Homo-oligomer: A and B are copies of this chain.
Amino acid sequence: MNYFEFAVSKLKENDYKLTVMRESVLRLLNENSMPFTPYEVKDELLKKGVKADVVTLYRVFEVFEKIGLVHKVSSLGRYIPCYVQGEANMDCHHYVICKLCKKIEEVEGEDLHSLEAKIQRNLGFKVESHYLEFNGVCNVCLTK
């Protein structure tokens, strides 16, 4: 099951309609597993002949985020599909972000359960998800 199929079933499951806009965005994310801003999505879809309003795209992503299809990377204003190595990935988000080219890439989630358990124990804080960003310089920029 690829991201698109996964997403479609997820939409149904949550009683959201599969509209032309939602489907177009999902196809884009499925083809390019990378983070987009709503404005970039608008441009990308236009290239494919689909005219979309950014307002709608904001609302599309709002829904997608609610049901765990994307995660918003606030520092970049981008939405990135949550689907790592064939698996839905709602609760842990691990990214590397290059400070030079701004490229962001999802990395395999390491186990942070012991840390979460510790926080739960020490603070009484109920951890539901986590978000981990590694900032630095990517391999491409390093060799420039």
Q: Measuring CB to CB, which residues of chain A are less than 8 angstroms from any residue of chain B?
A: 72, 74-75, 96, 98-99, 105, 107, 110, 115-116, 118-119, 123-139, 142
Name A136's contact: one of B110, B115, B128, B142 (CB within 8 Å).
B128
* Complex contact B135–A130 (CB within 8 A): yes
* Complex contact A123–B139 (CB within 8 A): yes
* Complex contact A124–B142 (CB within 8 A): yes
* Complex contact B135–A123 (CB within 8 A): no
Name A127's contact: one of B75, B124, B134 (CB within 8 Å).
B134
Copies in the complex: 2
Listed by A's residue number, 17 A-B pairs whose Cβ atoms lie within 8 Å are A72-B75, A74-B75, A96-B127, A98-B125, A99-B128, A110-B118, A123-B138, A123-B139, A124-B139, A124-B142, A126-B136, A127-B135, A128-B136, A131-B132, A131-B133, A131-B135, A132-B133
- Within the assembled complex, what's the spacing in Å between the Cα atoms of A130 and B115? 15
CB-CB under 8 A from A75, the residues of chain B are: 72, 74-75
- Within the assembled complex, what's the spacing in Å between the Cα atoms of A47 and B82? 44
Q: With A74-B75, A115-B110, A119-B96 as known contacts, state yes or no: A125 contacts B134, CB within 8 Å.
A: yes
Query: Besides the contacts A74-B75, A123-B139, what 17 more A-B pairs have beta carbons closer than 8 Å?
Result: A72-B75, A74-B74, A96-B123, A96-B127, A107-B123, A110-B118, A124-B138, A124-B142, A125-B134, A125-B136, A126-B136, A127-B134, A128-B135, A128-B137, A130-B134, A130-B135, A131-B132
